[in-house]
Structure 1
Amino acid sequence: MSHKLNLGWLGAVAMGMAMAAVAQDKPADFATQVPLSVSGEGPWYRLDLPMVVQLNARQTDLSDVRVFDAAGDAQAYALARETAQTADNRRLTDVKWFPLYNSMDATEHAPSVRVQSSANGTLVEVQPSSQLEAGEEALRGWLLDASAIKAPLQQLILDWTSERDGFQRFSIEASDDLQHWQSWGEGQVARLTFADERVEQHEVGLPGLSARYLRLLWDTPYSAPTLTSAQLESASSRRLPLPLVWSPALAGSSVKAGEYTWQLPMGLNVERVQVELSQPNSLAPVTLDGRRDSSLPWQPMSSALLYRLTQNGQDVVQNELQLPGQTVQQLKLTVDERGGGLGAQAPMVKYAVRATQLVFLARGPGPYTLALGSSTVKAANLPLSTLIPDYSAAKLATLGKASVEGGGVVTPVASPVQASTGTDWKKFGLWAVLLLSVLFLAAMAFSLLRKPPAKS
């Protein structure tokens, strides 16, 4: 009982200290103010910060975000943010694969199979449910055994042999019992000859969910190639990551052929970059570098084969690069021009970061205003467990919701932060004059004390 009281007392003290820290903050101190609307039951409200709003912050860690009530008083708040998962908690596992056969003229999408497994669920044998005549069967896909992997699956890596080069497109389905299957989207791998060099794409992104078995069924071409290797990359996580949010399209510049640069509005933990491929039949091996500012050297961040090709009357597009999530404010894309390049002008790009949620405790009267855009204020956010004493992930989902009015359209206010900065300089000047006066008087007093007394 006393332990709970102590925790509650500490939480109250922490909240009181936080409120005291922001009591001096006023809406006029922030360059951007956005009205909020609330719904549901309070007094806590959860706000998903739109990207266009976040980009008005002056501090990368969003220390300059505040929520004010109608009286202009700051409200206690917490931020829920996540960065990219680091590589040290990722694991690459070789898995067994089993062929899925069907007759050449079969109309059903998924072949019916007969499965034999061990007591722990590991697959031992997979056979067609009915006998197929020799020469009439088609290799439709592969069944992967991921039963030994307990962590969420992040990426699939394949290697294969086939008679011809090109793209391999297939559907991805997941199951825990081999009876009920859930779609995980489509995958695409490629092996191409480019300027007398081999260009290969082996990796396929997965949704970060857990499953015991994966089923890959080929769409283009109809027959699957022969696999020579299948690996799954997994990463353990205590909770599901917040979704990615995408920026508006960003224009760049080009100083020489095959090299393009973009300046982000602020330093951001970028996890994905999407490059606009406006011209059909574009093929471009690229490398992407990033850095915090112009005084630092470029650091390699990602490489990929980008393309927009027409196959069977449809566009096949791969225009995204996956990044490690480190903070960057400048991006540079270098293109191998032997594929025709991406044109003289820099293509438009979009970048994605993890979503940020803001939870605030509504104590004052509404309506409420989100304010941001100050390079001088200090962080004032609380931990979620302090803001919400009985916090849990389940309770977070039941909180009232706040949203930005006007769909996230931001209009900076005409109350510049520079004005308060100027006032600060005046205060510093006054204090400096006062200090110099005190020092001057002290020097005079010291001089008079050291002066020898006059002789009579």
Structure 2
Amino acid sequence: MSQKLNLGWLGAVALGVALSAGAQEKPSDFSTQVPLSVSGEGPWYRLELPLSVQLNARQTDLSDVRVFNAAGEAQAYALARQTAQSAENRTTTDVKWFPLYNSADATERAPSVRVQSSANGTLVEVQPSSQLEAGEEVLRGWLLDASGIKAPLQQLILDWTSERDGFQRFSIEASDDLQHWQSWGEGQVARLSFAEERVEQHEVGLPGQSARYLRLLWNAPQSAPTLTSAQLESASTRSLPLPLVWSQPLAGTRLKDGEYTWQLPMGLNVERVQVELNQPNSLAPVSLSGRRESSLPWQSLSSGLLYRLTQNGQDVVQNELQLSGQTVQQLKLTVDERGGGLGVEAPTVKFAVRSTQVVFLARGAGPYTLALGSATVKTANLPLSTLIPDYSPAKFASLGKATVDGGAVVTQAPTAVAAATADTNWKKFGLWAVLLLSVLFLAVMAVSLLRKPPVKP
């Protein structure tokens, strides 16, 4: 009981300190003000901070974010970039795979099969639903047995016979009973020969969900290769990070052949970069570097193969690089020109950062305003567990929601900024004038003392 009282007292003290820290601040101290709308049950509300609004901040860690009520009073708030902190345990597992055959003239997309499984659901045998004569059967895809994996599936890793080079494109479907299938999107792996080197891509991202079985169906008939290895990477976490948000296209600068740079609006924890490939049949091995500012050396962030190639009348595109979330404000892409490069002009890029949510405790009457854009204010955000005493991921999900009103961003008028600057200048001028007058007064006194005749004894 005493421990709970102590925690509550500490939380109250922290809340009071945070409120007093922002007590003297007012909305006009910040360059950007955004009206908010709230819905759902309060008194806590969470706002998914749009990237276009976040880029108006002056501090990389968003220390200059505030929420005010209608009376201009600062609200207690917290910043959340994940629903909960938890370690992720990744495991790679070899799985069994079974061929899926269909008749050469069949029109259905998915072959019908008969399966035999053990008591725990592990596949023992997979056969076509009807007997096919030699020469009539066509390999359409593969069935993977993931029944032994209990954690959510994050990545598929395939290997196949080396005789089948080029791109391999297929659909991915998931099921728990082999009867009802859910689409998990498209997959693509590749094996290419480039400049006397072999470039291979074996990994395919999965949506982070659990399933007992996966079905891989190749898009074009008779194009499925013979698999030699199938692995699934799973990850067990108590919660998943918030989704990524993408920027608008960002123009860059060409430094020299095969080298391009981009300046981000502010320091950001970038997790992915997407490079625009305008020209068909582009192939470019690249390396990406980043840094916080121009005075620092470049640090390697990622590397990979970017391409836009035409295959069977369709564009096959791989234009993304995955990063670790390191804070950068400048990016540099170095291209291996043996692939033909990316052209004379610097391509545009889009960058993705992890979504940030602002959670605030509504105090006083609305409407509420989000304010940001100050290089001088100190951080005032609280931990979620302090702002919400009985915090839990379930509690977080049930909070009321705040949204940006109409997507509008209200920025202080230049006249207000100029007036504030002029007021500051007048104060400086007044201080200097007082100092000069004081010096002048001292000088006059010194001269008068020097001119005064000495007193006779």
Change (3 A) 1:421 1:18: farther
> In the alignment, is residue 20 of structure 1 matched against residue 14 of structure 2?
no
Preserved CA contact (<8 Å) 2:87 2:237:
no
Superposition pairs of residues 48-447 of structure 1, within 5 angstroms: 48-82=48-82, 89-161=89-161, 163-220=163-220, 222-407=222-407, 409=409, 411=411, 413-414=413-414, 416=417
Q: Given residue 112 of structure 1, which amino acid in structure 2 is its aligned partner?
A: S
| Contact 1:52/1:409, CA 8 A, preserved across alignment | no
RMSD between aligned residues: 3.0
Rounded Cα–Cα distance in structure 2 between residues aligned with 1:413 and 1:221: 63
Alpha-carbon spacing, 1:86–1:335, altered in 2? closer, same or farther (3 Å) = farther
Separation in structure 2 between the aligned mates of residue 27 and residue 167 of structure 1, nearest angstrom: 55
**1:411, distance to aligned residue in structure 2 (A):** 3.4
After superposition, the C-alpha distances for 1:287-337 in whole angstroms (9 at most, x for unaligned) are 212222223322222222212222333322211111111211111111122
Determine the C-alpha separation between the residues in 2 that align with 1:111 and 1:55.
50
**1:273 Cα deviation (Å)?**
0.6
Question: Separation in 1 of the partners of 2:170 and 2:202?
Answer: 13
SS in 2 for 1:365: coil
Relative distance call for 1:222 and 1:36 in structure 2 (3 A) is farther
Distance 1:327 1:418, change over 3 A: farther
* Cα shift at 1:160: 0.9
Q: Secondary structure, in 3 states, of the residue corresponding to 2:309?
A: strand
Change (3 A) 1:122 1:391: same
**Which AA in structure 1 matches 2:200?**
E
Distance in 1 (alpha carbons) for counterparts of 2:254 and 2:121:
55
Tell me by how many angstroms 1:219 deviates.
0.3
Per the alignment, do residues 403 and 169 of structure 1 end up closer, same or farther by CA in structure 2, a change over 3 Å counting?
same
Q: Please say which of residues 340-349 and 214-223 is displaced more in the overlay.
A: 214-223
Whole-Å separation in 1 of the counterparts to 2:138 and 2:410:
57
Give the Cα–Cα distance (whole angstroms) in 2 for the partners of residues 400 and 9 of structure 1. Answer: 26
The answer for the alignment partner of 1:441 in structure 2 is none
Most deviating of 291-300 and 262-271: 291-300
Q: 1:165 and 1:187, CA in 2 relative to 1: closer, same or farther beyond 3 A?
A: same
Larger mean CA deviation between 39-48 and 364-373 belongs to 39-48
Mapped to 2, the partners of 1:421 and 1:7 lie a distance apart of 47
Instruction: Look up the SS of the partner of 2:17 in the other structure.
Output: helix
The 3 A distance-change label for structure 1 pair 294 and 336 is: same
Secondary structure of 1:33's aligned partner:
strand
Unaligned 5+ segments in structure 1 are: 435-456
Aligned partners of 1:56, 1:33: CA distance in 2, in Å?
A: 10
Distance 1:160 1:260, change over 3 A: same
CA distance in 1, matches of 2:88, 2:206: 18
1:56 is displaced (CA, Å) by 1.2
Indicate conservation of the 8 Å contact 2:161/2:225, yes or no: yes
1:40 match: 40
Q: Aligned letter for 2:369?
A: T
Deviation of residue 397 (structure 1)? 2.9
Structure 1's 227 and 323: CA in aligned 2 closer, same or farther, altered over 3 A? same
- Equivalent-residue separation in structure 1 for 2:380 and 2:79 (angstroms): 10
SS of the residue 1:271 aligns to:
strand
CA distance in 2, matches of 1:391, 1:86: 15
Q: CA deviation at 1:76?
A: 0.9
> Which deviations, in whole Å up to 9, do the C-alpha atoms of 1:124-167 show, x marking residues without a partner?
22222222212211111111222233322222121111544221
60-69 vs 9-18, which moves further: 9-18
What letter corresponds to residue 154 of structure 1 in structure 2? Q
Query: Could you report, residue by residue, the CA deviation over 1:257-294 in whole angstroms, capped at 9, with x for unpaired residues?
Result: 11111111122111111111111222222121222222
Equivalents in 1 of 2:118, 2:32: separation in Å? Answer: 62
Q: TM-score when scaled to structure 2? A: 0.86
Give the stretch that moved more between structures: 403-412 or 326-335. Answer: 403-412
Residue identity over aligned pairs, in percent, reads: 83
* Cα 1:289/1:48, change in 2 over 3 Å: same
Which one-letter code corresponds to 1:203 in the other structure?
A: E
Contact between 2:172 and 2:183, CA under 8 Å: does it hold in 1?
Answer: yes
Q: TM-score, normalised by structure 1?
A: 0.86
CA deviation profile, 1:162-220 (whole Å, cap 9, x unmatched): 54422111001112222222111000111222233322221111112222221111003
Paired with 1:289 and 1:89, the residues of 2 have a C-alpha distance of 28
The secondary structure found in structure 1 opposite 2:219 is strand
Q: Is the 8 A contact 2:86 2:239 kept in 1?
A: no
